[in-house]
């Protein structure tokens, strides 16, 4: 697993989401109870961007159909979502937020 810096710590605010690309994939950053969390940005229901959703405490509501996820665990908590979103490990070092991801292996290339 590799960690990459995606934001400054103070950019991640309670009640708001921050969209970033990590390893080419969109993720959403949130602050819940002072802690920074990172989940996949794409809703597991129909591919809306969760960073455009409403954040209330530890819950993000998808902007498309109102499905809800628990941010720290990625678990679905309100229909129509039934599948969890991936949660990515986060480290905060020297004022930078770093997100862990698995880099694509060379086996994934089709050349």
Alpha-carbon gap, residue 21 to 9, rounded angstroms: 16
99 is written with which tokens? Answer: 């997100």
Alpha-carbon gap, residue 45 to 78, rounded angstroms: 11
104 is written with which tokens? Answer: 């694509």
Q: Decide: is 104 part of the binding site for ligand FES (CB under 6 A).
A: no
Name the DSSP letter for residue 52: G
Q: Could you say which of 23, 26, 72, 80 contacts ligand FES (CB under 6 A)?
A: 80
Q: Decide: is 64 part of the binding site for ligand FES (CB under 6 A).
A: yes
- Give, as ranges, the residues between 16 and 55 that touch ligand FES (CB under 6 A): 43, 45-46, 48
Would you say 7 or 68 has its CB closer to ligand FES? 68
Residues in touch with ligand FES (CB under 6 A) = 43, 45-46, 48, 62, 64-65, 67, 80-81
């Amino acid at each position: 697993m590799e960690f990459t810096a995606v934001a400054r710590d103070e950019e991640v605010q309670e009640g708001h989401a921050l969209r970033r690309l990590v390893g080419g994939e969109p993720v959403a950053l949130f602050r819940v109870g002072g802690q920074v969390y990172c989940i996949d940005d794409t809703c597991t229901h129909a591919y809306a961007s969760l960073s455009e959703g409403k954040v209330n405490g530890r819950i993000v509501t998808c902007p498309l159909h109102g499905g809800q996820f628990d941010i720290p665990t990625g678990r679905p908590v309100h229909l129509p979502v039934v599948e969890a979103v991936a949660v990515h490990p986060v480290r905060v070092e020297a004022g930078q937020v770093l997100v862990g991801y698995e880099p694509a292996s060379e086996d994934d290339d089709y050349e």
